[in-house]
Structure formats: structure tokens, C-alpha cells
Amino acid sequence: MLQEKGPMQAKEALEKYFLDNRARMLEIASFLDRIDRYSGSPEAKEDFRYKSLMKALKIILESEDERTKKVQLFFSDLSSAPLEKVTDQKAYGAWKESSNEGD
């Protein structure tokens, strides 16, 4: 049987990936600051993608395990009926309906 679980120790993973993820945190912080700073900020913050992103941050903080899967599911269309007709080929990365659910 081949070793799959990952040969690293958690502390080694912390060493290897800390700076990358510190930089990603700063990217998120400055992205949110940018939306605050530009005109039209209140409307942008009403957009379902903004609301979804803020909720995803909460999910990350409040989960004890499987954070990636939980965020993925939160961003997903959870309905099951086919779309009647394609009017917009684009995907947005978040699902309108879950962004409107209360916390």
C-alpha cells in the first residue's frame, strides 16, 4: 500500500505555507478595503457575491473541519431541476439564493 495520508508533520506544513497564506489574507483584506474606498460601495456590498464572500469567511472561522468542502457547498447551486433555457452562459462563483439566507 502506498503512503497517501501525507508524510509531513502539521508544524512543517505551517512552516511551508504560512507566508503564502499570510499574503492571501492581506489580498482579501485589501480587496474589501478597495470596495469600501470606491464610490458606489453600499450597492456593491449588496451584491450577492460580496455577501457570499463575507459568509464564506464566517464559515471558515466557525468550522472545525472540512472547511474547503463547506465553502464549496455554500457557493454551489443546491437546486436539482434543470434550467429551462440558457440566457446567460456565465458562471458567477456564488449562488444567489444561499447569499440571501439569514445567518
CA distance 73 to 101: 14
Q: Are 51 and 93 in contact (CB under 8 A)?
A: no
Determine, following the binding rule CB under 8 A, whether residue 8 of this chain makes contact with other proteins: yes
Determine, following the binding rule CB under 8 A, whether residue 53 of this chain makes contact with other proteins: no
CA distance 5 to 28: 30
**Among 23, 40, 89, 103, contact with other proteins (rule: CB under 8 A):** 89
Determine, following the binding rule CB under 8 A, whether residue 77 of this chain makes contact with other proteins: yes
**Could you tell me the three cell numbers for 9?**
508533520
Q: Which residues bind other proteins (CB under 8 A)?
A: 2-8, 16-17, 68-69, 72-73, 75-80, 82-86, 88-89, 91-95
